[in-house]
A and B are shown apart, each in its own frame.
Chain A
Amino acid sequence: MANRVLQAWNGEAVGAAEVPVLPVDEFQQIVADILTAGGRVSSYFGREDGDRTLVTAVLADDAQGRLAVLSTRVGASWTSLSAECPSLQAFEREIFEQFGVRPEGHPWLKPLRFEPPLVPGVDPWGRVAQPSTIPGNYPFFRVDGEEVHEVAVGPVHAGVIEPGHFRFQCHGEHVFHLEIVLGYQHRGVERLLVGGPDRRTVGLIESLAGDTSVGNAISYSNAVEAVSGAHIPARASVLRGIALELERLANHVGDLGMLAGDVGFLPTASYCGALRADFLNSLAEICGNRFGRGLVVPGGVRFDLDPGAAGRLADKVQKAWEQVDGATGLFFESPSVRNRLDGTGVVSRETCMALGLVGPAARACGVSRDVRRDHATGVFRFLHVPTVTGETGDVYARAWVRRLEAERSADFVVRQLRSLPSGPVRAPCPPPLPDRLVVSLTEGWRGELCHVVTTGHDGRFTRYKLVDPSFHNWIGLSLAMRGEQISDFPLCNKSFNLSYCGHDL
Chain B
Amino acid sequence: MDGIPGIFQFRSRFGGQTVAYPEGPASFPERFRGLPLLDASKGDGGRAAEEVCPTGAVVDPGTPRLAIDLGRCTFCGLCEEASPGAVAFTRDYRLAARSRNELVVKGEAPLLARALDEKARALFGRSLRLRQVSAAGCNGCEAELNAAGNIQFDMSRFGVAFVASPRHADGLVVSGPVSENMREALLETWEATPAPRLVIAVGACACSGGIFRDSPVQSNGMPGVPEIPVDLWIAGCPPHPITFIDGVLRLLGRVEKDELRLAGTGILLPSAET
Instruction: List A contacts of B212 (CB < 8 A).
Output: 187-189, 192, 204, 207
A123 to B208, CA, bound (A): 29
Given the known A-B contacts A130-B180, A271-B14, A274-B152, are A288 and B136 also in contact in the complex, defined by CB atoms under 8 Å? Answer: no
User: Looking at the complex, which one of B7, B142, B179 makes contact with A160 (CB distance below 8 Å)?
Assistant: B142
Instruction: List B contacts of A344 (CB < 8 A).
Output: none
Q: Are A203 and B55 in contact (CB under 8 A)?
A: yes
Q: Interface readout for B112-150 with A: 1 if CB under 8 Å, 0 if not?
A: 000000000000000000011111111111111111011
A235 to chain B, nearest CB (A): 18
A187 to B269, CA, bound (A): 36
Verify if A431 is at the interface (C-beta below 8 Å from B).
Answer: no
A164 to B52, CA, bound (A): 35
A93 to B76, CA, bound (A): 36
Verify if B156 is at the interface (C-beta below 8 Å from A).
Answer: no
Binds B, one of A223-231, A276-284, A371-379: A276-284
Q: Are B31 and A330 in contact (CB under 8 A)?
A: no
User: Looking at the complex, which one of A200, A213, A287 makes contact with B31 (CB distance below 8 Å)?
Assistant: A287
Instruction: List B contacts of A319 (CB < 8 A).
Output: 269
A339 to B17, CA, bound (A): 30
Q: Are B139 and A316 in contact (CB under 8 A)?
A: no
Q: Interface readout for A157-191 with B: 1 if CB under 8 Å, 0 if not?
A: 01111110000000000000000000111111101
The residue of chain B having its C-beta at the shortest distance from the C-beta of A335 within the complex is B3
Verify if A20 is at the interface (C-beta below 8 Å from B).
Answer: no
User: Looking at the complex, which one of B30, B139, B162 makes contact with A209 (CB distance below 8 Å)?
Assistant: B139
Q: Are A326 and B147 in contact (CB under 8 A)?
A: no
A247 to B167, CA, bound (A): 36
From residue 430 to 461 of chain A, which have CB atoms closer than 8 A to chain B? none
From residue 212 to 237 of chain B, which have CB atoms closer than 8 A to chain A? 212, 215-218, 237
Given the known A-B contacts A115-B217, A277-B150, are A210 and B141 also in contact in the complex, defined by CB atoms under 8 Å? Answer: yes
Q: Are A132 and B184 in contact (CB under 8 A)?
A: yes
From residue 171 to 218 of chain B, which have CB atoms closer than 8 A to chain A? 176-177, 179-182, 184-185, 189, 205, 210-212, 215-218
Verify if B259 is at the interface (C-beta below 8 Å from A).
Answer: no
B272 to chain A, nearest CB (A): 9
Verify if A407 is at the interface (C-beta below 8 Å from B).
Answer: no
Q: Are B54 and A202 in contact (CB under 8 A)?
A: yes
Instruction: List B contacts of A254 (CB < 8 A).
Output: 143
User: Looking at the complex, which one of A186, A203, A210, A294 makes contact with B181 (CB distance below 8 Å)?
Assistant: A186
Verify if B83 is at the interface (C-beta below 8 Å from A).
Answer: no
A451 to chain B, nearest CB (A): 17
Verify if A327 is at the interface (C-beta below 8 Å from B).
Answer: yes
Q: Are A278 and B215 in contact (CB under 8 A)?
A: no
Q: Are B218 and A187 in contact (CB under 8 A)?
A: yes
We find that the number of chain A residues with CB closer than 8 angstroms to chain B is 75
Verify if B45 is at the interface (C-beta below 8 Å from A).
Answer: no
Q: Are B7 and A330 in contact (CB under 8 A)?
A: yes
Verify if A368 is at the interface (C-beta below 8 Å from B).
Answer: no
Verify if B262 is at the interface (C-beta below 8 Å from A).
Answer: no
A270 to B156, CA, bound (A): 14
B49 to chain A, nearest CB (A): 11
User: Looking at the complex, which one of A185, A270, A326, A333 makes contact with B136 (CB distance below 8 Å)?
Assistant: A185
Q: Are B138 and A207 in contact (CB under 8 A)?
A: yes
Instruction: List A contacts of B269 (CB < 8 A).
Output: 278, 316, 319-320
Q: Are B10 and A163 in contact (CB under 8 A)?
A: no
Instruction: List A contacts of B211 (CB < 8 A).
Output: 200, 203-204, 207
Q: Are A210 and B139 in contact (CB under 8 A)?
A: yes
Instruction: List A contacts of B176 (CB < 8 A).
Output: 185
User: Looking at the complex, which one of A267, A293, A501 makes contact with B74 (CB distance below 8 Å)?
Assistant: A293
The residue of chain B having its C-beta at the shortest distance from the C-beta of A182 within the complex is B181
Instruction: List A contacts of B140 (CB < 8 A).
Output: 207, 210-211, 213, 291, 293
Q: Are B150 and A273 in contact (CB under 8 A)?
A: yes
Given the known A-B contacts A186-B179, A188-B218, A281-B267, are A156 and B74 also in contact in the complex, defined by CB atoms under 8 Å? Answer: no
Q: Interface readout for A198-239 with B: 1 if CB under 8 Å, 0 if not?
A: 011011100111110100000000000000000000000000
B190 to chain A, nearest CB (A): 11
A343 to chain B, nearest CB (A): 23
B274 to chain A, nearest CB (A): 13
Instruction: List B contacts of A187 (CB < 8 A).
Output: 136, 177, 179, 212, 215, 217-218
A305 to chain B, nearest CB (A): 10
Q: Are A326 and B268 in contact (CB under 8 A)?
A: no
Verify if A494 is at the interface (C-beta below 8 Å from B).
Answer: no
Verify if B33 is at the interface (C-beta below 8 Å from A).
Answer: yes
Q: Are B215 and A192 in contact (CB under 8 A)?
A: yes
A326 to B7, CA, bound (A): 9
Given the known A-B contacts A186-B179, A210-B138, are A274 and B150 also in contact in the complex, defined by CB atoms under 8 Å? Answer: yes
A183 to B218, CA, bound (A): 12
Q: Are B76 and A293 in contact (CB under 8 A)?
A: yes
Verify if A155 is at the interface (C-beta below 8 Å from B).
Answer: yes
Verify if A303 is at the interface (C-beta below 8 Å from B).
Answer: yes
In the complex, which of the residues A183, A187, A287, A289 has the most CB atoms of chain B within 10 Å of its own CB atom? Answer: A187
Q: Are A188 and B217 in contact (CB under 8 A)?
A: yes
Instruction: List B contacts of A192 (CB < 8 A).
Output: 212, 215
Verify if A22 is at the interface (C-beta below 8 Å from B).
Answer: no
4 tightest A-B CB contacts, nearest first: A210-B140, A158-B164, A210-B138, A288-B31
- Chain B positions within 8 Å of A, measured between CB atoms, are 2-3, 6-7, 10-11, 13-14, 17, 28-33, 51-55, 74-78, 81, 131-147, 149-152, 162, 164-166, 176-177, 179-182, 184-185, 189, 205, 210-212, 215-218, 237-238, 240, 267-270
Sampled A-B contacts (19; CB under 8 Å): A115-B217, A133-B184, A158-B164, A160-B162, A186-B136, A199-B54, A208-B138, A210-B238, A281-B268, A284-B28, A284-B31, A288-B33, A293-B140, A294-B75, A302-B81, A303-B31, A312-B267, A326-B14, A499-B139
- Chain A positions within 8 Å of B, measured between CB atoms, are 113-116, 130, 132-134, 155-156, 158-163, 183-189, 191-192, 199-200, 202-204, 207-211, 213, 254, 267, 270-271, 273-274, 276-278, 280-282, 284-291, 293-294, 302-303, 312-313, 316, 319-320, 323, 326-327, 330, 333-334, 499-501, 504
18 further interface pairs, Cβ-Cβ under 8 Å (given A184-B181, A191-B215)? A156-B131, A161-B139, A162-B134, A162-B139, A163-B182, A185-B136, A189-B212, A199-B78, A210-B138, A281-B268, A282-B267, A285-B267, A293-B237, A316-B267, A319-B269, A320-B269, A326-B13, A327-B14
